Structure 1
Amino acid sequence: MREPFRPDGRAAPARERGYAMLAVVAGIGIMAAVAAGAASSTAPRLDTLDAETTNARLNAAADAGVEIALANLTRPGLAARWSIDGRVYEESFGGVPVAIRIEDEAGKIMINRIDGENIGWLIAALGLPQNQVESLRDSFDDWIDQDDEPRANGAETDFYLPRGYAARNGPPQSVEELGDIRGFTPELVKRIARIATVEVNGTAFDKRYADPLAIQVMNDGDANSPDVIERQREMNGQRTAFSITDPADWTGRVVTIIAVARAPGGAEARRRVVAELTGKARQPYILRWGA
């Protein structure tokens, strides 16, 4: 290797040649550090980009799941339409699996049309101990009645005022409102929400597509009633489920569509939409609410 030279043409001393070598090594080290830093900063960006791409695909698939459900609920010919009995339909969109469930709102417990006795049957059916059944029953009755005198195990406005609100003194306006009533924990409200709704258009309870637990509550809490047993057999495939054959019966029916798109790693996107089926070709459905 040629020895380094000074500007005047003379060979550089060994000491200076050593300094030059150190500078080269240091420069290589700095370049390596910069490269490593760039690589380490790029990796999180790639992970973030991958996560954003996955989320976008999941959201698109969940949205598509709702559209798929609406299309199958409103297609010509009642026999070709999807059922509203809560069964799960497995579909896919863009390679992403989507689980779709359709629930008949008329087959749910309408909490704005029941009293504490029904709530007591519901809480008991969910397996809570008797002392909680009594407390939740009385608290619900105190929430909906017109007076401010608490029942033995209930709670009235005086209990809620420190929390910034008062008892409604009327029926709940949403299932989520149950969470404002003493004793109704978020977990309990979530369990109730699966089979409960708020009636808004005068629809009567319809047992044909109801969850057996909802039928039990609406049948005075009797788990052994024929209606409960027959519906359970339908859901277990032991008896043919009732199907809607009258177009007039379809008109005005309100359903909840739940679409869940899942990625292999466990990430998911969920959509919940409430729609009214009109039975009209021009506008077959009206979206009431969605999230």
Structure 2
Amino acid sequence: MIRESSGDRGTAYIAALLAAVVSTYIALEILQTERGVSAVLAAESGQARLIAAADAGLAMTIYQLGLKDSTQRLRADGRVHALYFEGVNLSITVQDERGKVPLNSAGPDVERRLFAAAGVEGERLEILVDSLNDWKDSDDSARQHGAESSFYRSMGFPPRNGEIRTIDELAKIRGMDNALLERIAPAITVTKGIFGTFEPALAVPMALVAMKDRNGGQYDADRRREMLSGNQPALDFWDKIPVTGRVLAVTVLATGLDGGSSFRRDVVVQFTGNPEQPYWIRFAR
């Protein structure tokens, strides 16, 4: 639930967005009551409803993440927050980008542990590690199990030969498929300019396994799983972490009551500490 706070800026933007969402719902209700509405229009209005609900959930999440009162602030601890909004179920997760594997600067050992933690083994594991590094490096010489421009030519695109720009880009890499990408996506980041180094206490278990040699050893991944499942209390230092400078990944999954339709909104937001522009959207899809 949104709480009013006179000291928190950005409220006007949130209110405007929520007003637009309400207007969208009114328009959808009018559309759906018209006689002779086709099945196509009905489907489109249903999708628009999911999008509007997801954006409303995003607005409320950003508001609560930016509250000055740290005891009331939503925690970016990777847990799933359930919300019901105008006939739509919302599942919202927030993760600090410092708790993810920085894929552009990660080396082969980190990458190998990441893919292995996702269930990859054998030759495919070597193909993924070598192909990922071939994708990132600037030359056109393929590693033993890797792939360069000659491999991708028939697919109609060249390798990046530079820093990965989006998580979705990984789907193009040799050895990758959608199922694997979905498993590793919550544990990796390609966001530039993240303040600070990898923080184990903020990480999901897969990232902890991959980054086990950072910051003096491996954080207890089993304890982290327990915390995310709700079987252990959240870490008690959350309220002491300032919001200014934090780069947070927000995922909102909107699902219709029929359970058969859904819409996903992904945003990376950075809080600036500037009352005139309290946050930046670093990435959105």
Task: Report whether the alignment pairs 1:107 with 2:99.
Answer: yes
Deviation of 1:198 (Å): 0.6
> Is the 8 Å Cα contact of residues 92 and 250 (structure 2) preserved in structure 1?
yes
| Worse-superposed segment, 183-192 or 111-120 | 183-192
Give the % identical residues: 35
Counterpart residue number, 2:149? 157
Counterpart residue number, 1:143? 135
Counterpart residue number, 1:130? 122
Q: Which residue of 192, 205, 224 maps to 2:198?
A: 205
Task: Report whether the alignment pairs 1:180 with 2:172.
Answer: yes
- Pair 268,170 (structure 1): closer, same or farther in 2 beyond 3 Å: closer
Number of residues of Structure 1 aligned to a counterpart in Structure 2: 247
> Is the 8 Å Cα contact of residues 115 and 140 (structure 1) preserved in structure 2?
no
Query: Within 5 Å, which residues of 2 pair with 1:1-291?
Result: 45=37, 47-203=39-195, 204-220=197-213, 225-236=218-229, 237-246=231-240, 249-266=242-259, 267-291=261-285
> Is the 8 Å Cα contact of residues 194 and 247 (structure 2) preserved in structure 1?
no
Task: Using structure 1 for the length normalisation, give the TM-score.
Answer: 0.75
Deviation of 1:125 (Å): 1.0
Counterpart residue number, 2:10? none
Q: Report the structure number with the largest CA radius of gyration.
A: 1
Deviation of 1:250 (Å): 1.9
- Pair 121,183 (structure 1): closer, same or farther in 2 beyond 3 Å: same
Task: Using structure 2 for the length normalisation, give the TM-score.
Answer: 0.76
Counterpart residue number, 1:3? none
- Pair 142,289 (structure 1): closer, same or farther in 2 beyond 3 Å: closer
Instruction: List structure 1 segments (4+ residues) > 6 angstroms apart after TM superposition.
Output: none
Give the Cα separation in 2 of the matches to 1:146 and 1:59: 39
> Is the 8 Å Cα contact of residues 257 and 272 (structure 1) preserved in structure 2?
yes
CA RMSD of the aligned region, Å? 2.7
Unaligned runs of 5+ in 1: 1-41
Cα deviation digits, residues 142-175 of structure 1 (max 9, x gap): 2233443322222223323343443333332222
Unaligned runs of 5+ in 2: 1-33
Partner amino acid for 2:72? A
Query: Which structure has more helix as a fraction of its residues?
Result: 1
